[in-house]
Structure formats: structure tokens, C-alpha cells
Amino acid sequence: MTTRKRREYLQLLDAAKVAAETAIDSYNSVWHQYRNQAAIILMANAWELLAKAVLVLHKKSIRKDKKEGTISGEIAVYRLATFGFLESDKTETIQQVISLRNAACHHILPDVAAEVMQHLLYYSCKFFRETTTKFFPKQSKGMKDTYLSISFINITTYADKVLRSISKVRKSANDKRMVWLLERGVSFDGSGYITESQFENKYRGKGKVLPRLELSSFIKNTDMVKILPIEAPKNYTADVVLRKGSKSDSSLPIIVKKTDIENDFPYMTKEMGDRVKKSLHWMKGVISFFGFKGDPRYHQGVRSSKTTVVHRYSESALQKILQKLSEEPDFNPHHS
């Protein structure tokens, strides 16, 4: 009895999943001296195969026009975006991975900062899982949820490192080549890569380099990721708060502050009301008026049981209320 051969798109998907997890395994290898190159090559391979699996699933050709063989990885991913199977912001990330892969396969890959590697691998893995789940929900089961990589240095982000490389593009050969490889991935138009000389023409002459590059738009519009190990003494609680930052800073700065709840947030609502000689009802109104809750400068919620949260407030919160009362002694938050 003959065994039925799996459909082409499932064979492509099977190979893609193995390549993606082997890429992660290569990057996490402690002794792997070719780890960046191996991870990039395998992740690009995973995306080429996944892109072709999606295209075949939707009965789109992956063959070269009137030629034997199949299309390249950059063309396959480009076609995903063309047919609406992958969003453009995700495509730009994957195309950078493929651009670096081509450099690693055909020449010497320049030094790639840890921040750039982590960003590209994290998001290419995330988008890989999302795309697999979207188009192959049954086959997405069994993919691992956790991959561990340890870092003992305080690294920044993709944006921070790429901006630094762009600032040195005129005087550093490694930075120039690195930025070119990323730029050609972001600007790939489905026909061919920009050459190194075409890249140099973009910023030739005086003036800032960044505004002349497609990477400028990519950095402004893409999310950033920072792998943050948190070490805490016994009985400490870690609160991670995302807040809107400066438009001029894409580096995702992270401030780690050890908080002693009793000392840093000494007042409960009634206690703060007693200090300003106001009722509990008035205090609830002023807390809402200033938006204290959820702002780590003024408020911390401490869970005392499964259903009860005790709200505590900082000295800064008290001073803000006192300042308002000094300016408007008759201030009533319920009438504002």
C-alpha cells in the first residue's frame, strides 16, 4: 500500500518550522562562533519556505518565469505583501533578515550588534508564529512558547544601535556596510537590491544621512523590543510601566527603580484627606481629577487579598493637591 505524499505546501511548512527553531537554537548556542550567520541564514530560510507555503496554499506560483527552479526568498516574501498575506511593516523586518542572509552566504557578514540581532530575530519569530497560526492553524500547534536566551549586559534597542551606525556611516566601513544591508532590505521593490554605490549616492554630499534613508521611516514606525532580566530581592514586586516617550527618542529607555511602598507611597486615601482637611468623597474626586491612579509617580496599588487592592499615594501626590489648594482655596474637583 502506497503512502499518500503530503501536499507541497505542508512539506514547505514542515521544513520552515524546523528551520525557524534551528535558527533560535543556533543563536542561543553558547559556543557557536558562527552563531549570527547561522541564525540569520536559517531564519531567512524559514521565511522563504513559509512564504512559499502560503503562496502554494493560495494557488500562487512560486516558479521562476519560464525557468526551472523557484523564486528567491526576497521575491517570495515580497509576493506575500503584494497579495495582502503579510503587512508591509512585517515585510520590511523579514527583508532585512534576508538581506543579511545573502551577505553572509556570498561574502563576509559585517559585525551585527546584539540589539539588531535580537530585534530582527524576535520579530521575525513572532511574525512567523502569527503567519503560521493565521494560515495553518492546525499545524501551528506544538510550536514552543518559550525560548530562553540569557544576557548579562545592559543592551539598548535596534533603533539606538542603527542610529549610531548611521551617524558613523561616512567614516566606518563596517557601519556603512551594515546600514547598506539593512537599507536594501527595507527598500526592496520586488525587482532587485540597491547596490552599494546607489546607497552611497543617497547620502552623498553634506547634510544628515538619516532623513535620506528608508530606514528613517522604518525606525519611526516599527515597535521596539528590549529583553529585560529583572532581579529582585525577596518580597519585592516588579512593576513594568509603558508610557509615551519623546518622539525624538526611539531607543526605548528603561528606568529600573526599587520601591519601598511604605516610604515611597506613605498615604492611603483617607490619610491624605486628613492632611489636607478634606472628606473622603472630595479626595476621590481630586484623585480622579489629577489622574493619579496608574501613574507610578503618584500611585501604587497593593493587593491585600484576592479581591482587595489598597491604594497608596506618594508625597508628590500630596504636594500637587496642596499646590492646587494654595492657588484655588475653594477648589472642588466634582465641579471642575
Q: How far apart are CA 187 and CA 180, in angstroms?
A: 10
- Calculate what percentage of the chain has a pLDDT beyond 90: 59
Distance CA 11, CA 139 (A): 11
| 8 Å CB contact between 287 and 336 | no
| Mean pLDDT in residue range 116-137 | 94
Secondary structure letter of residue 63 according to DSSP: B
- Which among 128, 144, 58 has a CA at the least distance from the CA of 93? 128
- Identify the residue whose cell numbers are 521575525: 124
Write out pLDDT tens, residues 218-258. 999 898 888 777 777 776 776 666 766 666 666 666 555 55
Q: Is the pLDDT of residue 17 over 90?
A: yes
pLDDT band at 155 (very low <50, low <70, confident <90, very high): confident
Please check the confidence at residue 120 and state whether its pLDDT lies above 70: yes
* Residue labelled with grid coordinates 493619579: 292
pLDDT at 211: 92
- Can you tell me the mean pLDDT for 58-66? 88
Task: List 311's β-bridge partners, or say none.
Answer: 301
Hey, how many other C-beta atoms are within 10 angstroms of the C-beta on 121? Answer: 23
- Is 285 strand, coil or helix? helix
pLDDT of residue 64: 85
SS3 62: coil
Q: Smallest Cα–Cα separation from 195: which of 69, 99, 269?
A: 99
3-class DSSP state of 264: helix
CA nearest to 135, candidates 200, 173, 80, 177: 80
Q: What is the DSSP letter of 303?
A: E
Question: Cell numbers at residue 327, please?
Answer: 492657588
Residue for cell digits 566606518?
Answer: 172
| Average pLDDT estimate for 130-156 | 83
- With a cut of 60, say whether residue 1 has pLDDT above it: no
φ, ψ (nearest 5 deg) of residue 282: -65, -40
Q: What is the model's pTM?
A: 0.73
Identify which of 26-30, 76-80, 241-245 has the greatest average pLDDT: 76-80
Q: Report the mean per-residue pLDDT for the chain.
A: 88
C-alpha cell at 315: 508625597
By CB neighbour count within 10 A (0-12 exposed, 13-18 middle, 19+ buried), where does 269 fall? middle
12 confidence band (pLDDT: 50, 70, 90): very high
pLDDT over 80 (residue 82): yes
Distance CA 266, CA 146 (A): 39
Confidence of residue 193 (pLDDT cuts 50, 70, 90): very high
Instruction: Return the higher-pLDDT residue of 225 and 78.
Output: 78
- Edge-to-edge, what's the strand order for the sheet holding 309-313? 267-268, 309-313, 299-303
Lowest-pLDDT range of 23-37, 123-137, 150-164: 150-164
Does 132 or 228 have the greater pLDDT score? Answer: 132
pLDDT of residue 38: 96
Contacts of 256 (CB under 8 A, 6+ apart): 230
